[in-house]
Amino acid sequence: MKILKGIATAPGIVRGTTCFYSNEIEDTLPHYTVDAQQIPKEINRVKEAFEHARQEMKQVLKTAETQLDKSAVEIFNMHLSILNDPSLLESISEFIKERKVNAEHAVNDIFEQYIKKYEIKSEHFRELIHDFVDTRNRLLHSFNIETGKFKCPVGIRGPVIVAAKRLTPSMVLSIPRKNVLAFVSEEGGFTSHATILARSHGVPIIFGIQVEKELDCGMEVIVDGSAGKVIIAPDRKTEEYYARKMQGREKKKDFCEVRKSLSSRTKSGKRIKLKLNISTPGEFSFAKELVHDGVGLLRTEFLFMERNRPPTEEEQYRMYKRILDENGDKPVVVRVLDIGSDKMPLYFKISGIMNLDLGLRGAMAVEKFPHIYLTQMKALLRANVSSNLCLLYPMVSDLNDLKTFRNVLSAAKRALKKEKVNIDAMKIKEGVMIETPAAAMMVETLLEKVDFVNIGSNDLLQYTLATSRGSTEVEERYHILHPALLKMIEMIAREGKKAGKEVCLCGEIASFEEFYPLLLKIGLKSFSVAASKFSDLKCELLHLQQLRDKKLITEFYKLESKEQIDEYFKRFI
């Protein structure tokens, strides 16, 4: 068994056979030179291809207006606008004149130039690449060139898990819905046009999987679109686990669909706060349809990664303001930059001998790079027009760490006051991440000084067990909800209740439906999860009758192995 981890953009669980769908056209694309007398003929062929593609796109638009939603119409209007762009036709014609090449060759090369230009731009513009690929393929199809096909016959005969380097709108529409169990791709995005269309299929969608390296046509896999996992050759235990989950989902689906506009609550009516973890701006498009209680964790690292310099105050301000404004009066918990071994910006100059998981984290990073954090705090304060900003400080272990973050916040306020930016009327709540055993033991003291706490169970488990996150050997030995971890969470929840302050669980364990009977039993009432998991968890809560069995927790704490814990949670699936 092998588990591939990607990024989930649509929930659901399926089991099936993988089949590659290819958009590669290099093998079939004719490349040849022409003499001067043939140039007008080749340019005319391009003009005819454009006209044919435009007429075809107009027909697609007519169908979209009657059968698809507004977003699909907008997508195809964009494709039509690309085909109507006179500068594109002019560039291809000039290419033919200068290089003396055939029409197909010129179309492909000019589009490649556009694609490469957008590859170096921001995430939003990079997603336009798929629209250029799609429009190019539509033009090439006008030359009778095959631009998309399944690499194995099983994809034509019946339902498969469609694996592709990248999804394009035309690919999504060309494959009959009845033949799609799930989409798995290497490239993609939450707001890419192909993803928007693919979501209308109502099937799991995952991107960020190295499909060409890891998957073969005909492989039997399980796709967990809620957790972003593709499981190759699942073992018997995994098969049984997912079989129960799929059976349970089917029974509950209709019941939850008619109640999706309700706020999150248990079957007995107990109100539960269910918030969203957001790692990229694109996830907000996914979240707009969800009735949630705000953003419980906005990870800001996406602004700092994959670039050669830190983002400016103005760049950060625009992004934060957009996110805060879009959420209206709902709270948005923004975690200030949290660096680590898996999220280290290229421009951070750090000694090669430093352990990034045990050394430069939290307040120590603030002291080493104060200008980075000062700029971020200023941008956040400026963006807080709606007064729904909640600042969250990572890797806090004691009051001195908290003081370090607050010193930067005070410096940011002074700097803005000096610049005559009025922020006096803006309300800001402050919280800390409880993700070290030290913070867990100090939680009573920390709660006296802050408005709320978030439990980062991923790091808390790592530091409690003295093991690396994501290690296969570790996962085989220890359960993700280790009894020691649950004892600490129970203690944190108890102290939060005593202080009358919110304790929100935002780590990975909050994504497992079967853990909720226990998590609610120990006193948690607030959770923050990935948008892709939200609907599943909300549905689970609607069916959950809180258990009054007092032995539920004591029984769990007596368990001695991962196998026993796995068996314990089967009763809740």
- Whether residue 319 is found in the same domain as residue 453: yes
pLDDT of residue 194: 79
pLDDT of 125 reads 55
| CATH for 70 | 1.10.274.10
What 3-state class would DSSP assign to 279?
coil
Task: Please count the CA atoms within 13 angstroms of the CA of 118 that sit on its side-chain side.
Answer: 16
Question: Which residue type does 322 have?
Answer: R
Per the domain annotation, does 15 fall within a domain?
no
| Global pTM exceeds 0.85 | no
Nearest-angstrom CA–CA distance, 166 and 88 = 23
| 355, 316: one domain | yes
Residue 171 and residue 63 in one domain: no
Two tokens at 177? 């819905």
The CA-atom distances, in angstroms, between 321 and each of 20, 189, 289, 324, 328 are 41, 22, 20, 5, 11
Token pair for residue 149?
A: 């096909």
Q: Quick check: is 20 in a domain?
A: no
Element housing 235 (H / E):
none
> Measured between alpha carbons, how far is 21 from 175 in angstroms, rounded to an integer?
10
454 secondary structure, DSSP code: E
Helix (H) or strand (E) holding 573: none
Same domain, yes or no: 187 and 42: no
Please name the amino acid found at residue 3: I
Residues 214-219: contacts with CB under 8 Å, at least 24 apart: 214/2, 214/4, 215/18, 215/20, 215/163, 215/184, 216/18, 217/18, 217/19, 217/20, 217/151, 217/152, 217/154, 218/17, 218/18, 218/19, 218/152, 218/154, 219/17, 219/18
* Contact present, 294 and 504 (Cβ < 8 Å): no
Q: For the chain, which residues score pLDDT lower than 50? A: 122, 124, 353
CA nearest neighbour of 194 among 157, 228, 165: 165
Spatial neighbors of 414 by CB under 8 A, at least 6 apart, are: none
Q: Does residue 84 sit in the same domain as residue 169? A: no
Q: How much is the pLDDT for 409?
A: 96
Name the β-bridge partners of 335: 299, 392
From 123, 141, 159, the end of a domain falls on 141
CA-wise closest residue to 292 among 282, 303, 283: 283
Amino acid, res. 117? K
Question: Would strands 13-22 and 2-5 be described as parallel, antiparallel, or unpaired?
Answer: unpaired
Q: Tell me, yes or no, whether 2 lies in a domain.
A: no
| CATH number of the CATH domain containing 209 | 3.50.30.10
Q: Are 272 and 363 in a shared domain?
A: yes
Q: How many domains, in total, are found in the chain?
A: 3
Q: What SS3 class is residue 520?
A: helix
**For residue 228, how many other CB atoms are within 10 A of its CB?**
24
CB 266 within 8 A of CB 299: no
Q: Does residue 184 sit within a domain?
A: yes
- The answer for 502, left when phi > 0, alpha when psi is -120 to 50, beta otherwise, is beta
Do 410 and 383 lie in one domain? The reply is yes
Q: Cβ(335)–Cβ(300) under 8 Å?
A: yes
Q: Are residues 90 and 199 in the same domain?
A: no
Range of the domain at 554: 241-572
Domain end (from 141, 159, 194): 141
Contact 13, 221 (CB under 8 A): no
* In-domain check, residue 8: no
- The 3-state DSSP class for residue 299 equals strand
Instruction: For residues 348 and 495, state if they share a domain.
Output: yes
pLDDT value at residue 46:
94
Q: Are residues 97 and 163 in the same domain?
A: no
Domain end residue (candidates: 183, 216, 234): 234
Same domain, 64 and 136: yes
* CATH assignment at residue 502: 3.20.20.60
pLDDT score at 344: 67
Verify that 118 and 214 share a domain, yes or no: no
18 falls within a domain: no
Helix (H) / strand (E) containing 401: helix 399-418
Residue 516 placed within a domain? yes
C-alpha distances in Å from residue 69, one per residue of 178, 194, 278, 433:
19, 14, 25, 41
